[in-house]
Chains A and B, each alone.
Chain A
Amino acid sequence: MSGILVIAEHRRDEVRPVTLELVGAAQSARRVPEERVAVAVLGAEPERSVPSVSVAGVDEVLTVKLAAGEFDPDAYEAAVRALIEARKPSLVLLPHSIDSFGYAAAVAAKSNHGFATDVFRFGYQDGALVATRGGYGQKVSIEMDFPAREVVILTLRAGVFKPPGARASPSVTSFAAPPARARVVSRSFIEVSAADDVDMTTAEFILAIGRGVGEQANVERFRELAEAVGAVLGCSRPIADAGWLPKSRQIGQSGKTASACKLYLAMGISGAIQHLAGMKHVSTIVAVNADAGASIFTVAKYGIVGDIFEIADALHSHFAS
């Protein structure tokens, strides 16, 4: 058994929580209990990230010192390829993240390893690794396998696998990364300015609108409704892209995550995977949509198939304005 290698993801000197989900996933991937799970932390000062990944299920932490502090596709590629070359794990886990979009496929292509992305379930069937991902706009599920590949790289969907709860003390080893010429250089980070002082990540009750609102003129009535029911108004990507609401109100993969939300009312949102990424963890989701087949109903607790304007008006009347 050659082991499982998890590549940690960090940003701005912090290990991103999705890394721990990968560790959790790695646990269930062990074919025998002795199979070792190693987590590689990459960066300018990788030792500082060790405590963040010292959780149950991690046997070893590999610190890889890189020239640049922030994401550098060439350095990451070279490092991960070298790690795989040296350790020969049977399974390499990365998050299906923006950083991974920038280099994971390059690693797989150059090294000719098995490769699948956005995997939300995987396991071994008859000794062969089988990974499941979505297809045709998430309308079907596809099982992939990797015949004759000794190493398989998977990027895992965020928010699916459970991170381990307990702490642990894995061994820490440094790994020398090969030098890589930096052809892409980090310059700066730009915060998307919050036009209004709203923080979606702390809101406990969110009313989010999507393409179903139709036109910009209709946003106002939902703003009023949100105020009446005591919710923070949020939106899906198309609304923010069109400029109808500031980007700070966007919830989803490239927007905010409704981390503190307990009640999420989605009106006119179909439930594209990128939006779900930001809210599907919420304990009570109520979806209102004219399309009975909208994906949002698969993650919602309650659903109403209907006209969002009629429901909005009727709902408003139950709350003092």
Chain B
Amino acid sequence: MEPAELTGLALDAATRAGAGYADARFVEEATESITVQDDRVEDLESGRSRGIGVRVLVDGCWGFAATALLDEPSVAAVGRRAVEIARASRRLQRDPVRLSGLEPVVATWSTPVERDPFEVGLDEKLALLLEACAAQRSVPGLGYAQAFVDLWRRRTLFHSSEGSRIDQTVTQTGAGIEAVAVGDGDLQRRTWPNSFRGRCEGGGWEVALGADLVGQGHRIAREAVELLAAPELPDRRTTVILDGSQLAIQLHESVGHPLELDRIFGMEAGYAGTSFVSVGDRGSLRYGSPLMSVEVDQSVPGGLGTFGFDDEGVPARRTPAIVDGVLAGFLTSRETAAVIGEASNGTMRADGWAALPLIRMPNVNLAPAPDGPTLDELIADTADGLLLSTNRSWSIDDKRVNFQFATEAAWEIRDGRIGRLYKNPTYDGRTTEFWGSMDAVCGPGEWRVWGTPNCGKGQPGQIARVSHGVAPARFRDVHVGVR
């Protein structure tokens, strides 16, 4: 059967079994992953996956079932099983789930791609990665060099009992390098353009070509070796400038996650936790300095969270989350938006056919300062502080208040100039105090989208690829050098 017939079969089975609402996602995925270390290929893997997931509401109670077996009896059985699961869940139900309104839509969407990354020959991919490693290995004292490419293509055929039919294909590409220096019981690494296996964006092979893996290889390797001899960052309070990579993770952990409305409602309490934010804080909670404005945006070019429609069929949109430092909105689903009397802002995403859609960050972006400085100008404006570069470690409490991060490198800023390199930099803080200390944000010329391809949530666990648009920013009186 064709995918559209399969989704129709699943919906039919679910509605005949008693579902009041049902949606079916046929998902077809292709993946490719390559890791080159020094002069050999360590990993070369190609993946294909197809399956169907069915979500139903029966008397206001959810059920979900999914299968990779795409014969007609198995697909129909999945529709019925979802209803069985929903019925079993009713025994503890208090208030029935309601969904916010949504106009059914028939549409197609696909990521703009200049060059299909799956059509690029393996020899061309390997040549790029081997050359990127060779550039790193030109630095004496390096332990080893790595270069990576990751490709994802996900086609989702979404079919709902309300009449939506959406055929959406998302293509994403990642490429990066990692230089590792080892010596005297120490290990230091530098990555480019980002940790998490590099720059990950929506798009095709042009993403990898634009990552400048070869051009940056020597510098990255040199910095890794230099870090071995660098001093540890002292424990003190100081001014810090976070580069884009680190600021993206700061935003992810301390803004994106706490504003997920399902977390606020306690729906993730059993695993990832809840939030210090409550619904009543909207309009009043001072989240950060007046320089802080954050937007939820499913449309920004190149974002890992850029799509036409979420996995409930809600169209992409841009909605404010924080305006001039004050909480203004949340990440919602049709279920959670209905509780606060609003329409969903389209953040429901599932990690493939086997997963139930959950509220996930799409692209959560910190606005640049319209007339903000360049990074060089911001450094020149800083009398005494640190530039922290490239995320290395992250941790935050289960309400998203106390956090601790580590970066790969930190450079002293003294009288507006970059100085000494420090290794193993760490900093900690509490969310609203930290964002309240932000006193400068770079301008639009420094703003770019950073991919975070490994966000985890849910039981069973799911991974989402998300992005954060940021420009570097400065924060005052931050505790660094955590011991």
State whether these chains interact: no
Query: B: which residues have CB within 8 A of A?
Result: none
Query: A: which residues have CB within 8 A of B?
Result: none
